Structure 1
């Protein structure tokens, strides 16, 4: 279902509806008190957002992509999802996309930059500008250049090789500094910590606001403890500060929050902290 912010139209395009993780795998320091009555895995999703403005079709995050070799990061390994069919279901084919933004260059956000065609990794969105913060690109390029043979770094190097480098070589990448205005109503802002140059997209129109928050937050558990680090946070202290900044901004703007890994909602103040109010997409 479509959310409208004045002239902006926003549709979620979900790559994976159910993406389970053991709580301690996702949040190494999570406590029984934070888990409460929850038992078993935490069920995440992978959701991207299609934003149509009067003059641009913008895709915020591109998902993990199919057929990617991620033998260390097995949760990202060898997907086979109908993501492009789901994109088509909201009226867009890859050639319609003008701009692709990754909130950061982890595999589940930029792997969909490319798809396997006749044994080669081709740009999925051949007419698009792929916007990547210069510092984020430099980080992943350095990981790749170090030629790691094992561990998480090896899968990150594979991500650069099969998902980022092909769009660079096709001349489709624009390295940007933040903040960056994509078009009227779509501004990219720096919210680092999960990675060094992680960004969010601030969306506005008709006096209404939304924040596509990427991996600033991974699960509603974090609202009760904004210091609760996700296992992939590059700088946990900076990531916690970005979570607080996002909450403050969402409250200030009364913004709809559009996370990558759980459902949309709004953030309310709760004493000295914050509380998340999930909203069904149709009611957003």
Structure 2
């Protein structure tokens, strides 16, 4: 499915359609009232966004990637998905991508930066500039340098080693300060809290707007309580502020929301905060 914003063409490229989590695993403080009628696991997805401009092909995030060793973060461990085939179905091959942007450096967003080729982790998008917020890179580099032997930190260090460092060594990474204009109609801005320097993208064209929101929000029921923290939020207070900022921005611009882990949609105000309305790509 495709949506156009003036000269921008946007396609969702989904790596994983069904990614289930127990509610308390995803949101440790979740209450029965917040869950409402929901029963069982929460079914997320892993979705990236391909944006074609008149002169550049830009990919936001690259998914988890296949064959990654994540023995602690088992939800990220040893994927085997046809992600690159799905990318090719949009008419884009890895060598066609000009820019890859990391909303942040968690494994399911940057793992796909590399692929295993003859026992080596090679850049998946060999011609691309990989744009990473400088503070985000510094955080993960520090985790790796500490050489953690166990726990989540060990898998984050593995992420740096097999997914980030190879593109750095290939000379493909550009560390950026925010805000940052990628090209006409694509501006990156900081919305921290989930990670140190999490970013979103503001897309605009033809008088229309969209927001690539990464992990600012993980599930639609967070709209009813923007203070509900996800287990990976490094700063829950800042993350809640960023969720509110995102919602305000989406309402102000009547922007299409493009999240990483649930479907595109629109946001409007409600008496108790904000409401989310699914809007599949193809509906501008």
Other-structure match for 1:225: 225
Mapped to 1, the partners of 2:258 and 2:174 lie a distance apart of 24
1:183-241 deviation line (CA, Å, top 9, x unaligned): 00001100000001000011000000000000000000100000000000000000000
| Aligned structure 1 segments of 4 or more residues deviating by more than 3 angstroms | none
Other-structure match for 2:70: 70
Other-structure match for 1:24: 24
Q: CA deviation at 1:69?
A: 0.1
Residue aligned with 1:69, SS: coil
Q: 1:95 to 1:182 in 2, by over 3 A?
A: same
Within a 5 Å distance, the mapping from 1:109-148 to structure 2 comes to 109-148=109-148
Other-structure match for 2:249: 249
Mapped to 2, the partners of 1:161 and 1:15 lie a distance apart of 22
Unaligned runs of 5+ in 1: none
Mapped to 2, the partners of 1:129 and 1:223 lie a distance apart of 34
Mapped to 1, the partners of 2:142 and 2:282 lie a distance apart of 42
Other-structure match for 2:93: 93
Mapped to 2, the partners of 1:53 and 1:60 lie a distance apart of 13
State the TM-score, normalized to the length of structure 1: 0.99
Residue aligned with 2:244, SS: helix
State the TM-score, normalized to the length of structure 2: 0.99
Unaligned runs of 5+ in 2: none
Residue aligned with 2:157, SS: helix
Mapped to 1, the partners of 2:144 and 2:266 lie a distance apart of 38
Other-structure match for 1:40: 40
Q: CA deviation at 1:280?
A: 2.5
Mapped to 2, the partners of 1:100 and 1:281 lie a distance apart of 21
Mapped to 2, the partners of 1:37 and 1:269 lie a distance apart of 22
Do 2:100 and 2:128's aligned partners in 1 also have CA atoms closer than 8 Å?
Answer: yes
Q: CA deviation at 1:283?
A: 2.7
Residue aligned with 2:282, SS: helix
Mapped to 2, the partners of 1:125 and 1:280 lie a distance apart of 27
